Amino acid sequence: MPPKTEDNLQNLTPGSIEEAPRYRRDIEEMRREITRLKDQSLTEGDFRQFRLQRGIYGQKQKPDVQMVRVKIPWGRLTSAQLLALADIADRFAGADRKGIAHVTTRQDIQYHFVSLDQAPDCMERLAECGLTTREACGNTVRNVTADPLAGVARDEVFDVSPYAEAAARFCLRHPVSQALARKFKISFSGSAADRGLNPMHDLGFLAAVRTEGGKAGRGFVTTVGGGLGPTPKTAQVLEEFTPVEDFLRTTHAVLFVFNRDWDYGRKNRNMARIKFLIEKIGIDEFKRRVFAERHRLRSESYPEIPDYSEAPPPAPSVSSPPGPDSAEYRRWRSTNVLAQKQGGYSIALLHLFLGDIRSDQLRALAGAAEKFSNGLVRTTVQQNFVLRWVKNEALPALYGELAKAGLAVPSAERLADITSCPGADTCQLGITSSRGLAGALVKFLREKRPNDADLADLKIKVSGCPNSCGQHHIADIGFYGGARTVGGKQVPTYTMLLGGHIGAEGSGYGKHFLRVPAKKIPAVVDKLLDLYQAGKRPGEIFRSFVARTGFDALKRELEPLTDLPESPDSDFFSDWGGTGTFTISTGPGECAA
């Protein structure tokens, strides 16, 4: 482990040495509060709120096993940070997750089965590489996310990275965001493709340019009040154009109004998100309050936007041979490689199985980032990694190195790349094993429908309960877990939704379609894909096919597959990836603690 010096802490987010004492204070406070918990001078309830604000989340297994969530602002990581994350996976992750890091749908990194006693040491190792768990959980501003292609996307209006960085720095430890009524999520998108998924966020910024007096100025279409969960809401426009000079003040004003005006949400946790405040008072009244607060904040000073831009790597000489032009390479290149707006460079997507990456793979990725890119990677909201600034002629050699590490899996962000929350495996609110189902569907697609695995117009997302941590509402085919009782026994089931999407064509949440026993889902997906392939018109994408065909017609074909026999065999009473008979085993959730 490197010595704990100021120099080792200077890449905090990224850069500022002034954060180092604050990181150390977080670690010292965590050690102290754990001691107080053990000697019973601190209640479990008070400790829960404290540790959640520091990114330490309880698992369902037992009280002293934790999930540790690491904030990765706008998904940016250096190769040195990748090596540190690999070290942490080996040292602190436990049980069957030893040596594994998990990429989340908020571009974070998570570790599971971490001993509570080891949490401070884990936080210390993170601080050494400039990362923190602070406010990754709890009723705070969570990780600020952004388009992982920002700065290199051909369709972007401008690079949103420095603005996402400014928002992350501003909100971290800010007094207004320490004890909100509920969690608060901010996102940035650089183009109409909306890869930051703004409509489902509490506060979203979409890059825009406005010309006044012959001079073009940068700004954002600012949206507010989006969110998923059992009651999904689509964000509404707060302001058609917020100049970049005003976006932090606007963020501050929105947080202030939410914090000040939503005491009802503190009393009723099911209604605590900002979307419900807006629903109660109306968007016009909400705008009035925010703009009045923003005017009051005119005298406040805000941090300057960091001068951030990514330079291309120094002209590399690829020493390793390019490798054969195999069918596997050509498929990987067709599904995992995108053209960069900077001529001569490409973007390579790394498809992770359910967001998991082993410590040896993190080290291989760090090496690839140094050798083929500019030493940087980004995580994605689809639970993957992105390498940018890869010279076009280096792609075969990059593929060869990724393949050695098991990281050259095709179908990145295609049909076979399924998003899943942790589900009943570790989450206290999880009803079903969403990871088990997602894994079964990946296997089914790869083995039974390999020609469909690479479909780009179709996404599947799975959640283990209605809370939508797997983002099932924005999937073409979404599932969330539940159960039904048959013959006195519980059968794991999923509610199936169709038609969710966010993108250049607009956004819409999926609509409830069928309730399906867990073990029948592959058959239902198989039949639905058959119907799509047989019935679609030339160039028609999946959700257009669904809209044209209609739910009633599709139900007539698929509903018979969802029936259980009068005397189901034992397989129906077990969950995917589970052993023994399925039973609901949930506990008090900590998302709203």
pLDDT in tens, 277-331: 999 999 999 999 999 999 999 999 998 898 888 888 876 555 556 666 899 999 9
pLDDT value, residue 241: 98
Q: Give the number of C-alpha atoms closer than 13 A to the C-alpha of residue 581, restricted to the C-beta side.
A: 9
Could you tell me the pLDDT band of residue 6, with boundaries at 50, 70 and 90? very low
Q: Is the pLDDT of residue 11 over 50?
A: no
Non-local CB neighbours of 560 within 8 Å, separated by 6+ positions: none
Query: For 101-131, what is each residue's pLDDT tens digit?
Result: 999 999 999 999 999 999 999 999 999 999 9
Over range 499-513, report the average pLDDT.
94
The answer on pLDDT for 452 being more than 70 is: yes
Angstrom CA distances, 510 to 162, 274, 379, 546, stand at 33, 21, 25, 11
Average pLDDT for 566-592? 76
* pLDDT over threshold 90, residue 556: yes
Indicate the Cα dihedral angle 456, 459, 460, 466, nearest 10°. 170
The per-residue pLDDT for 401 is 95
| C-alpha pair distances (Å), 462 with each of 279, 415, 547 | 27, 13, 21
pLDDT for the residue numbered 21: 82
Strand partners, 69: 110
Distance CA 42, CA 34 (A): 9
**Would you give the end-to-end CA distance of the chain in angstroms?**
35
pLDDT of residue 392: 95
Question: What are 358's two structure tokens?
Answer: 């082993």
Q: How confident is the model at residue 2 (pLDDT cuts 50, 70, 90)?
A: very low
Nearest 5°: phi and psi at 342? -80, 120
Alpha carbons within 13 A on the beta-carbon side of 356? 17
Q: Over the stretch 26-58, which tens digit does the pLDDT of each residue have?
A: 999 999 999 999 999 999 989 999 999 999 998
- Using a pLDDT cut of 70, give the percent of the chain over it: 93
Hey, which residues does 498 pair with through a beta bridge? 477, 511
Report, as an integer, the average pLDDT of 266-270. Answer: 87
Residue 7 pLDDT level (bands cut at 50, 70, 90): very low
pLDDT-derived band at 592, boundaries 50, 70, 90: low
User: pLDDT above 90 covers what percent of the chain?
Assistant: 80
Tell whether the model's pLDDT for residue 70 goes beyond 90.
yes
pLDDT score at 9 = 30
Two tokens, residue 7: 């120099």
Q: Is the pLDDT of residue 61 over 90?
A: no
Provide the mean pLDDT of the chain: 91
Give the DSSP H or E segment for 292.
helix 283-296
d(CA 336, CA 233): 32
Q: Model confidence over 243-261: pLDDT tens digits?
A: 999 999 999 999 999 999 9
- Distance CA(65)–CA(68), nearest Å, equals 10
Please tell me the predicted confidence (pLDDT) of residue 13. Answer: 44
Kindly report the backbone phi and psi dihedral angles of residue 472, in degrees, each rounded to the nearest multiple of 5, phi listed first. -65, -25
**Structural domains for the chain:** 6-128 (3.90.480.20), 153-299 (3.30.413.10), 327-404 (3.30.70.3340), 419-573 (3.30.413.10)
The pLDDT of residue 17: 39
pLDDT of res. 4: 33
